[in-house]
Amino acid sequence: MAQGRYRIGVDVGGTFTDLSLVNELTGELRHFKTPSTPHDPSEAIGNGLIQVISAGFDPAAIVHFGHGTTVATNMIIERKGTPTGLITTKGFRDVLEIARQQRPHLYDYSIHRPAPLVERWLRLEIPERFTADGEELVALDEAAVRAAAGQLRSAGVTAVAICFVHAYRFDAHEKRAAEILREELPGVAISLSSDVQPEFREFERFSTTVMNAYLTPRMAGYLERLMHRSRGLGVRAVPHTVHSNGGLMSMESAKAYPVRTCLSGPAAGVVGAAQVAAAAGFSNAITFDVGGTSTDVSLVLNGRGAYTPLREVAGYPVRCPMVDVHVIGAGGGSIAWVDDAGALKAGPHSAGADPGPVGYMRGGNEPTITDANLHMGRLNPVALLNGAMPVNRVAASGAVAKIATRIGAGPDEAADGIIRIAVANMARAIRSISIERGCDVKAFALVAFGGAGP
């Protein structure tokens, strides 16, 4: 590749981390791939950058560094955020639990809603109140704010969300409370609902702000480690993060508003697929991103991705502009299993990057879709990562044979069944965003991509 200025894009997936390098002068592309490191995603990015440098590219010539990540989403799904407190108007501490009284499964009497990200004893009420018209009914009790800060300090929280009623229009009380908390709790991340999500409807505003606070310390730590690793390797460009709406966020913005990165990786895929479709002459397309952990599908209409102002992430409502992506747990690492009735299933649980499919020889012991494809001879066992990561077809076949015995079938039949089930789930996802919304799929191009895609 000719020397010049380079732009690098990184996609941090649940199984692999991919890097693409483009020469701004010639348009030439180079691709690099490395296993993801779930314990610290910045480590995999660093490993990928080492590959780039080893291939002869000058890291100082990288002038743009953009990356899509699932770090925020994974923290929510796995509940690995930080201890968080909530300061709210007197009488509103239970908004997060009262929610909207919606029943997603009408006849399921044993349904379990996810527990609020802030425990009730850390949701503290403060006397204060504005009306919707801006009249101050109750002045902010600053002494109560300081007392609440003492309680939160004793509890060891590292983040606090401030959510007052009608603060979306009248934010004076929230801002003053934040000033007090910063005095009393130095180093603690503070999220204001009037900054994070200044729109009416308390539950969604509270939920989004609490999630932002819950994510902030660890997201900031991840981004700082990423900056440290990239600078240590000679990359001068500051990492930018893909926003859930498909745009780019500065590093400082991503640190302050991590909730806006919940669909970072999938959104980047939709934007890229829309451009590819347009270049091929298609204004309407269905994007089909098959990864190691999930499959993401979305609709492109008249050259633009579909957007939504509100969606749930791991059962929690998040209100911010996002690409409308439908995600299902079906990918290369999805685990095949047998339910209590003896029916064969595939997903949603995934072997991920660690230990990964059985054929990766990293300690995995449950058959995955990748193992089924290996057994059927559909994957080249010496081609993964350009031969740097050989896989074992015999081990994959052994795992498939075990599940075949459980369903009373032969290994070939079981492997074919695993793949067919995954394909059926993916087709159902496409149907849900197209036919079920009144779109004629014959008028759409299918843009398929992803590490486990075609």
**pLDDT confidence of 454, banded at 50, 70, 90?**
low
214-231 exposure pattern, b = at least 16 Cβ within 10 A, e = fewer: bbbbbbbebbebbbebbe
Residue 327 has pLDDT above 70, yes or no: yes
SS (H, E, C) the chain: CCCCCEEEEEEECCCEEEEEEEECCCCCEEEEEEECCCCCHHHHHHHHHHHHHHCCCCHHHEEEEEEECCHHHHHHHCCCCCCEEEEEECCCCCHHHHCCCCCCCCCCCCCCCCCCCCCHHHEEEECCEECCCCCEEECCCHHHHHHHHHHHHHHCCCEEEEECCCCCCCCHHHHHHHHHHHHHCCCCEEEEHHHHCCCCCHHHHHHHHHHHHHHHHHHHHHHHHHHHHHHHCCCCCCEEEECCCCCEECHHHHHHCHHHHCCHHHHHHHHHHHHHHHHCCCCCEEEEEECCCCEEEEEEECCEECEEEEEEECCEEEEEEEECEEEECCCCCEEEEECCCCCEEEEEEECCCCCCCHHHCCCCCCCEHHHHHHHCCCCCCCCHHHHCCCCCHHHHHHHHHHHHHHHCCCHHHHHHHHHHHHHHHHHHHHHHHCHHHCCCHHHCEEEEECCCCC
- Percent of the chain whose predicted confidence (pLDDT) is above 70: 99
Query: What would the two tokens of residue 248 be?
Result: 């780019």
**pLDDT confidence of 79, banded at 50, 70, 90?**
confident
Please give the residue that has the higher pLDDT: either 348 or 287: 287
pTM: 0.88
pLDDT of res. 356: 87
**Chain segment 33-76, per-residue pLDDT in tens:** 998 898 899 999 999 999 999 999 999 999 999 999 988 988 88
**Residue that has been written with the tokens 């999930």 in this structure:** 294
**Chain segment 162-195, per-residue pLDDT in tens:** 999 999 999 999 999 999 999 999 999 999 999 9
How many CA atoms are closer than 13 Å to the CA of 410, on its beta-carbon side? 3
pLDDT of res. 1: 46
Of 287-291, 312-316, 368-372, the range with the lowest mean pLDDT is 312-316
Residue 325 has pLDDT above 70, yes or no: yes
**pLDDT confidence of 209, banded at 50, 70, 90?**
very high
Average pLDDT score over residue span 263-269 = 91
The rounded mean pLDDT for the chain is 93
- Among residues 167, 217, 212, which one has the least CA distance to residue 320? 212
**pLDDT confidence of 3, banded at 50, 70, 90?**
low
Tell me the pairing of strands 84-89 and 62-68: unpaired
* The amino acid at 293: T
**Residue that has been written with the tokens 């039949």 in this structure:** 413
pLDDT of res. 128: 98
**Chain segment 343-365, per-residue pLDDT in tens:** 999 988 888 777 889 998 888 89
Residue 263 has pLDDT above 80, yes or no: yes
**Chain segment 94-110, per-residue pLDDT in tens:** 999 998 887 777 777 77
pLDDT of res. 350: 85
pLDDT of res. 206: 98
Residue 2 has pLDDT above 70, yes or no: no
**pLDDT confidence of 330, banded at 50, 70, 90?**
confident
Which phi and psi angles does 345 have, rounded to 5°? Answer: -130, 160
Cα→Cα distances 103→110, 302, 432, Å: 11, 34, 20
Residue 381 has pLDDT above 90, yes or no: no
